Structure formats: C-alpha cells, structure tokens
Structure 1
Amino acid sequence: MSYRFIKAALLQGAIICFIASCSQNATHNTGKSHDSEWLLTDALYYNNKPVNWQQRRVNGCSTCLIQKDSVLQPEGITRFNTLYKEGEWIAVQEQSSLNVIRLKLPLHTPYLYVEQLANGELKLFNQQHTYKTKIGEVINITFEKQLFSIVITTFILQDEKNAPLPRRAKLNYTALKLK
C-alpha cells in the first residue's frame, strides 16, 4: 500500500510540476509585446538598436515604415517623422518651431504646450492635463485612455513668456505609444 501511495504522490507531483512549467512557459513565450520591442530612453530603440529617423525603414523590422513630413508655419518649419508598424502609429520624432507637443494620430491630434518653469523643470499642459518633467527625462502621459511615453531632448523658448500661446521655440521630442 505504501508503494502505491508513493507512486501516486510522485505522479501527482510530476503532473503539478508539468502544469506549472507549461503555465510559466505560456506566460514567458507569448511573443514579444509592443513594450519589449520598443524602448524610449534618450532615444527610441527597436530590439535594443537605436532607430535611425533619417531612414525610411527600421533595421530589423520589415513591417515598420518611417514617414517624413514638414509643416511651414509663420513661426518656422516643423519637421516630424512618424513611425508606423503594420500601418499602425507607433511613435513620432519631432523638431518643432513651437512650444507644442503634437501626437498626430489617425483620427485626432492631441497636444500639450511646453513651458519652462523657474526651477528648470518643464511643464506640459493643455485644458485637461498638466505634467512636469525635465529635459532628457521620460514621462508617461495619457490621452483619451491611451498611454504614451515622451522624452524632450531640446527646449529653448524664443518668445517672451507673456506672448500668446503657442510660442516660438526650439523643441525636439520623441513620443512612443504604449500598449
């Protein structure tokens, strides 16, 4: 009887270990998520390689395409590169002549004004949201239930602080849509 008991216990233990192993593998091997493929720090990275915004394609991503656009405004030229993967908006890198972060999405374009505070921090704001960050610091923000990471790499205000919004500025930033 003890032999059957030990054999049953070993079988049950083996089954439990097998199930635990399968569930761990299922969690681990679900494929690369959007978050693990893309990383925003000082720049945007795809699978640990920096994205070259001057190219039309992203190295290692056959379904990624970078679309280059520019807008001539009275304040100057704004250049932005929009990255799509399988036709879906993933990220944007913009060199703006205004103090405005615009996330040019297919159905709408949410925006945040950028202002430098006396302590050197940057205030990002619109009518619904206010955030604080620093140059080179990644910040996560939410627009209409969609999460984005943004890093501002350059901000130099060219107008007086009392000039009406938007103000002329040199603003470079990258934004990444998170899932």
Structure 2
Amino acid sequence: MSYRFIKAALLQGAIICLVAACSQGAINKASSSHSSEWLLTDALYYNNKPVNWQQRRVNGCSTCLIQNDSVLQPEGITRFNTLYKDGAWVAVQEQSSLNVIRLKLPLHSPYLYVEQLANGELKLFNQQHTYKTKIGEVINITFKKQLFSIVITAFTLQDEKNAALPRRARLNYTALKLR
C-alpha cells in the first residue's frame, strides 16, 4: 500500500511540475511577444505599422528618430537610415554600393561580406562567422553578445567574383537589434 501511495504522490508531483512549466513557458512567450514593439520581416514594423525610412520620426513613437545619411565612395553612393529610440541604436536600413553589411554601432562596427552562391543562396561571412540565407529571408546573427535580425531585400554583384573584397554591388538590407 505504501508503494502505491509513493507512486501516486510522484505522479501527482510530476503532473504539477509539468503544468507549471507549460504555464510559465506560455507566460514568457506571451510577455515577450507583447513587449516587443519591433518586427522585422520583409520590412521593419513598429507596433504592426511599417516604418517609413524617409520620415524623420516613426509613426506612434515619440522617442524614435531616423537619421538619414549618405556616403560617397569610389564604388558609388551608399545611403543609410539609422533608427534610434531614446538615443539608443535600434535599426538601420541601407542601400550599399558594396557587398558589405556594416552595422555602425556606437562602440564597434561589425560587418559581413555578401556573396551569391551558384544555387541562388546568399553567403554572409567575415573572419569569425559564415551564414547562409536567401533574399527576403530574415536571419538572426550575434555580434559580440548582441543579437540582430537582418533581411536582405536586394543583391546584385557588379564586380567579378574573383575581385578583391569588398566588391562593387547593389545591396539593400535592414538590420534590427534584438538585444
């Protein structure tokens, strides 16, 4: 009789733990999705509204500011729009004349070169990391313990594949800092 009692108590304890774990997971998932006001898919969204990179402010965000810049390089003009919230870097949208994704952060500027593979996939790489993605596909990448989502919306290489890096290209991408 004591064996059945112990077995029943263990089973009941396991069920309670399982229910508690599932409930906590659902609470964490719900709170993280509700607290996240930014979403990166084919474009960047703030509270389910697309960000207009040509405006100085983000619709519905009084503490957000978009800074529009351009850089004239020998390879062409690179235009980038950097979004700040409360003075902190949130995202960038760039039209680059090089095959380089460069995140101009306050303390460092991590980068990835972009190449198109024979199968149409894109290879993103630097000395430490290599990733594969597709045009229009969001990829999560970590730089120095900071997580970013990046989506490339257009890429055309203009130099030969054997030219030295960086290469001339038409590269459009958006990057969002997740943490």
Would the TM-score normalized by the shorter structure come out above 0.5? yes
Partner amino acid for 1:52? N
Indicate the structure (1 or 2) with the bigger Cα radius of gyration: 1
Question: Displacement, 1:32?
Answer: 5.0
- Aligned position for 1:175: 175
Alignment of 1:90-169 (within 5 A): 90-169=90-169
Helix, strand or coil for the counterpart of 1:45?
strand
Aligned length: 155
- The one-character-per-residue Cα deviations of 1:85-126 (angstroms, maximum 9, x if unpaired) are 000000000000000000010011000000000000000000
For 1:135 and 1:142, locate their aligned partners in 2 and report how far apart those are by CA, in whole Å.
19
Partner amino acid for 2:111? Y
- Aligned position for 1:14: none
Partner amino acid for 1:73? Q
For 2:164 and 2:72, locate their aligned partners in 1 and report how far apart those are by CA, in whole Å.
19
For 1:93 and 1:101, locate their aligned partners in 2 and report how far apart those are by CA, in whole Å.
10
- Aligned position for 2:78: 78
Gaps in structure 1 of 5+ consecutive residues: 1-19
Partner amino acid for 1:177? K
Partner amino acid for 1:67? Q
- Aligned position for 1:61: 61
* CA-atom RMSD in angstroms: 1.9
Partner amino acid for 2:96? S
For 2:111 and 2:102, locate their aligned partners in 1 and report how far apart those are by CA, in whole Å.
4
Runs of 4+ in 1 over 4 A off after TM superposition: 26-32
Gaps in structure 2 of 5+ consecutive residues: 1-19
Partner amino acid for 2:92? V
Question: Displacement, 1:68?
Answer: 0.6
Change (3 A) 1:56 1:141: same
Change (3 A) 1:60 1:100: same
